[in-house]
């Protein structure tokens, strides 16, 4: 397969006796938006956690381009170019929007103690550079957010918090972006707006691969190139929305049909 | 610069507030009877509420931001006035120096608890490490500057060794380890003959480049030297603490404190930042302990008990966790009040525990809110995030 970005093979995660993810295989190509769907508890979040080093997989491998990143810790996964959002928002609520976005860009910061204490002019340059970067990325999702840079996250609406979380994941220019139910808590109108922004990001960064966990089938139909369907930790179907929506297994498991 | 829009009334009320704080400070410190103390406190609380309603404190912040030279000059003048008024009062001067040094140590705890989220219940033990290091070195004729710095370094090193093994664990294991360390430290001192056992150890008076700390200053108490030195050290440490906060370092500490999982998903090395905060913080505590020991002239295990560690932590919690400025009034209240009111002296640990619990229930962020980070002076609109 050409332009293969992420190659997940036989990925298995066990919690004691419970196998949350079992022998999952899939691939993500450059520029692709892959939907990861399945009923609650089917292992979608677990899959993200295993890829990003929060859980250690008990079997299987994850390869990014040519690099085997299986079992690396979260920091190294981030540095190799995979970022994510969380199903339950994990922003630093007491900090400003700016602070939160910069946390997404730690690869780009000079964190030497002496630099930070003594080279204040150079630090200020870095801060201003980040300020620009933060503004530019927020503009894509909501120009109003640019004015909220100095506000604490606690003052933002739910949808703006979701947007900030996506911007935090995008600001370091990752190769792979993992979105865990970004539309949770949004109205369908807000979801539509959000997905438009996501498609714009996709167009602007043609090499970025995105995996999207999403419940709403109409959204999946509109934005994804391909889908992987999970049930009880196993892949039960894979293909375009059209293909998977015809699959009988999917209808039974996911759409609750008999 | 931004001088143009500073109103005269802002300056006047700011200066008035600073003056009132100085008057309160000195009346509190010199109050002889419990009645006069209570009146001082009542007037102080009254003025505090009034000033808060009239946004005098905000005016003070505006003033300090826009005329930093004037503001800091005024602080130095006020301090000189206070010192000249108290210049014969050994006890008042001793209290000022103690409050200053405890506050300096609390900046270390602020870095640890307020920024990186590490609870250190062994503050007094690290003060003691600084103190005993200075005692040993000063008795062996090592210059005082070096021995105080060494006190800081020793505290840092022992602290790092202490938490290194538990860095990878989540939760409150670090706090438990510091409690154990604090308790063992005192026992260790009591059993150690080389360190003087329970009787403790004497320290020769300080001599800094020919400035002898045992001589009277300008016809007043010799404690004035210690007050001046402590204030200088506190100023430097406060400055560093604020620079840390207004930099990428502070941002990393905050991120580690708030969410370890999210932090590591964005490349932040949790263990590294925890140990950095612990090391810098303990260095501050160690040097404060070194100077404190020197001022006491004689230290013993009872100077560095677990109870003293709790006092240090209560100062930080009361002052506003992560707000170094709040540490100053908190240190003053917590250290001076028991000296003034006998009934507090007896039950002080109990009272502080109740106070801290009340604060944690009703104001979990401490009495003074920590403002949002400002990377530099003109950063963002004024008064972001209250
Ligand atoms: N840390 C954990 N410990 C034990 N079980 C877990 C853990 N995380 C997830 N699980 C279990 O794994 C299964 C898959 O969960 P998850 O991946 O969150 O599902 P989804 O995101 O598809 O709703 C569930 O049965 C869940 O209870
Ligand atoms: Mg999930």
A49 lines ligand 1 (CB under 6 A): no
Q: What is the distance in angstroms between the Cα of A244 and the nearest Cα belonging to chain B?
A: 32
Of all protein residues, the one whose alpha carbon is nearest to atom 18 of ligand 1 is: A45
Query: What is the distance between the alpha carbons of residues B96 and A84, in angstroms, rounded to a whole number?
Result: 51
H/E stretch holding A168: helix A158-170
Judged by CB atoms closer than 8 Å, whether chains meet at A78 and B373 is answered as no
Q: What is the distance in angstroms between the Cα of B311 and the nearest Cα belonging to chain A?
A: 27
Q: Does A114 touch chain B (CB under 8 A)?
A: no
pLDDT in tens, B119-143: 899 999 999 999 999 999 988 988 8
A43 lines ligand 1 (CB under 6 A): yes
Positive or negative, the Cα torsion across A217, A218, A220, A224? Answer: positive
A56 lines ligand 1 (CB under 6 A): no
pLDDT of residue B343: 73
Please compute the mean of the pLDDT values over residues A14-30 and round it to a whole number. 92
Place of tokens 């508890």: A41
Is the confidence at residue B249, as pLDDT, over 50?
Answer: yes
Judged by CB atoms closer than 8 Å, whether chains meet at B258 and A168 is answered as no
Please compute the mean of the pLDDT values over residues B176-186 and round it to a whole number. 91
Is the confidence at residue A257, as pLDDT, over 70?
Answer: no
H/E stretch holding B298: strand B298-299
Number of other CB atoms surrounding residue A233 within 10 Å: 23
pLDDT in tens, B269-302: 999 999 999 999 999 999 999 999 999 999 999 9
Judged by CB atoms closer than 8 Å, whether chains meet at B373 and A102 is answered as no
Q: What is the DSSP letter of A96?
A: B
Q: Which atom of ligand 1 is the closest one to the Cα of A55? A: 1
Nearest by CB: B264 against A75, A111, A124: A75
Which residues of chain A are within 8 Å of residue B380 when distances are taken between CB atoms? 149-150
Which of B266, B284, B365 to mutate against chain A (most A CBs within 10 Å)? B266
Number of other CB atoms surrounding residue B383 within 10 Å: 12
A129 lines ligand 1 (CB under 6 A): no
Report the separation in Å between the CA atom of A61 and the middle of ligand 1, taken as the mean of its atom positions.
19
Please compute the mean of the pLDDT values over residues A62-72 and round it to a whole number. 93
From chain A residues 51-90, the ones with a CB under 8 A of any chain B CB are 52-54, 73-75, 77-79, 83-84, 86, 90
pLDDT in tens, B2-58: 445 678 888 888 898 999 999 998 888 888 888 888 898 899 889 888 888 888 888
Is the confidence at residue B67, as pLDDT, over 90?
Answer: no
Helix (H, G, I), strand (E, B) or coil at B189: helix
Structural domains in chain B, sorted by start: 1-85 (no CATH), 90-362 (1.10.3470)
Please compute the mean of the pLDDT values over residues B82-88 and round it to a whole number. 86
Please compute the mean of the pLDDT values over residues B72-77 and round it to a whole number. 92
Which of the two residues, A142 and A79, has the higher pLDDT score?
A: A79
Q: Which regions of chain A does DSSP assign to beta strands (E)?
A: 4-15, 18-29, 33-37, 59-64, 67-68, 82-84, 176-180, 209-213, 226-231, 234-239
Residue partners of A101: CB distance under 8 A and separation at least 6: A130, A134, A137, A138, A164, A167, A168, A171
pLDDT mean across residues, chain B: 87
Is the confidence at residue B212, as pLDDT, over 80?
Answer: no
H/E stretch holding B299: strand B298-299
pLDDT of residue A75: 95
pLDDT in tens, A164-208: 999 999 999 999 999 999 998 888 999 999 999 999 999 999 999
Query: Two tokens at A229?
Result: 């369907």
pLDDT of residue A256: 62
Report the separation in Å between the CA atom of A190 and the middle of ligand 2, taken as the mean of its atom positions.
20
Q: Does A102 touch chain B (CB under 8 A)?
A: yes
pLDDT in tens, A72-131: 999 999 999 999 999 999 999 989 999 999 999 999 899 999 999 999 999 999 999 999
Name the closest ligand to CA A230: 1
Local confidence band at B171 (pLDDT 50, 70, 90 cut-offs): low
A182 lines ligand 1 (CB under 6 A): no
Judged by CB atoms closer than 8 Å, whether chains meet at B373 and A168 is answered as no
Judged by CB atoms closer than 8 Å, whether chains meet at A116 and B247 is answered as yes
Query: What is the distance between the alpha carbons of residues B20 and B41, in angstroms, rounded to a whole number?
Result: 12
Q: Enter the pTM of the model.
A: 0.92
Q: What is the distance in angstroms between the Cα of B234 and the nearest Cα belonging to chain A?
A: 17
A41 lines ligand 1 (CB under 6 A): yes
pLDDT of residue A152: 92
A45 lines ligand 1 (CB under 6 A): yes
Query: Two tokens at B121?
Result: 């219940």
């Amino acid at each position: 397969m050409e332009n293969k970005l992420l190659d997940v093979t036989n990925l298995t995660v066990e919690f004691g006796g419970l196998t949350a993810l079992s022998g999952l295989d899939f691939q993500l190509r450059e520029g692709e938006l892959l939907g990861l769907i399945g009923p609650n508890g089917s292992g979608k979040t677990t899959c993200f956690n295993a890829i990003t080093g929060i859980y250690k997989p008990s079997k299987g491998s994850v390869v990014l381009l040519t690099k085997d990143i299986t079992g690396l810790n979260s920091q190294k996964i981030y540095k190799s170019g995979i970022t994510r959002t969380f199903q339950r928002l994990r922003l630093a609520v007491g900090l400003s929007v700016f602070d939160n976005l910069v946390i997404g860009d730690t690869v780009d910061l000079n964190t030497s103690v002496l630099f930070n204490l003594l080279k204040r002019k150079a630090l200020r340059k870095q801060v201003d550079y980040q300020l620009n970067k933060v503004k530019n990325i927020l503009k894509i999702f909501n120009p109003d957010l640019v004015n909220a840079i100095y506000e604490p996250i606690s003052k933002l609406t739910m949808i703006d918090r979701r947007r900030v979380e996506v911007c935090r994941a995008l600001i370091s220019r990752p190769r792979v972006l993992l979105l865990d139910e970004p539309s949770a808590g949004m109205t369908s109108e807000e979801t539509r707006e959000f997905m438009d922004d996501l498609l714009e990001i996709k167009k602007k960064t043609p090499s970025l691969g995105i995996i999207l966990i999403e419940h709403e089938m109409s959204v999946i139909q509109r934005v994804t190139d391909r889908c992987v369907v999970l049930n009880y930790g196993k892949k039960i179907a894979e293909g375009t929305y059209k293909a998977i929506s015809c699959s009988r297994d999917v209808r039974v498991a996911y759409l609750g049909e008999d | 610069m931004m001088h143009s829009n500073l109103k005269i009334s802002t300056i006047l009320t700011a200066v008035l507030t600073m003056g009132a704080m100085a008057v309160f400070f000195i009346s509190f410190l010199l109050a002889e009877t419990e009645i006069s103390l209570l009146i001082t406190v009542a007037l102080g609380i009254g003025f505090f509420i009034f000033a808060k309603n009239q946004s005098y404190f905000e005016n003070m912040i505006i003033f300090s931001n826009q005329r930093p030279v004037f503001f800091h000059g005024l602080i130095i003048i006020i301090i000189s006035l206070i010192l000249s008024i108290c210049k014969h009062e050994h006890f008042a001067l001793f209290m000022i120096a103690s409050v200053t040094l405890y506050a300096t140590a609390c900046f270390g705890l602020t870095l640890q608890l307020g920024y990186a989220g590490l609870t250190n219940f062994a503050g007094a033990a690290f003060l003691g490490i600084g103190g005993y290091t200075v005692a040993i070195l000063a008795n062996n004729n090592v210059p005082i500057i070096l021995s105080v710095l060494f006190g800081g370094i020793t505290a840092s090193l022992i602290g790092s060794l202490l938490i290194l093994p538990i860095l990878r664990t989540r939760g409150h294991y670090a706090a438990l380890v510091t409690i154990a360390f604090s308790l063992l430290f005192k026992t260790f001192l009591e059993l150690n003959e080389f360190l003087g056992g329970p009787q403790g150890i004497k320290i020769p008076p300080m001599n800094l480049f020919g400035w002898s700390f045992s001589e009277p200053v300008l016809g007043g108490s010799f404690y004035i030297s210690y007050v001046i030195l402590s204030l200088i050290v506190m100023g430097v440490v406060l400055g560093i603490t604020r620079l840390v906060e207004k930099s990428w370092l502070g941002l990393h500490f905050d991120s580690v404190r708030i969410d370890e999982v999210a932090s590591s998903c964005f490349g932040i090395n949790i263990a590294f930042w925890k140990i950095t905060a612990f090391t810098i913080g303990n260095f501050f505590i160690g040097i404060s302990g070194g100077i404190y020991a020197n001022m006491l002239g004689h230290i013993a295990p009872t100077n560095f008990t677990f109870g003293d560690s709790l006092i240090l932590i209560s100062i930080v919690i009361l002052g506003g966790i992560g707000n170094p400025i709040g540490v100053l009034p908190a240190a003053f209240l917590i250290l001076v009040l028991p000296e003034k009111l006998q009934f507090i002296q007896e039950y002080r640990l109990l009272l502080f525990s109740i106070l801290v619990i009340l604060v944690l229930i009703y104001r979990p962020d401490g009495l003074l809110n920590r403002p949002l980070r400002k990377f530099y002076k003109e950063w963002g609109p004024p008064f972001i995030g209250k």
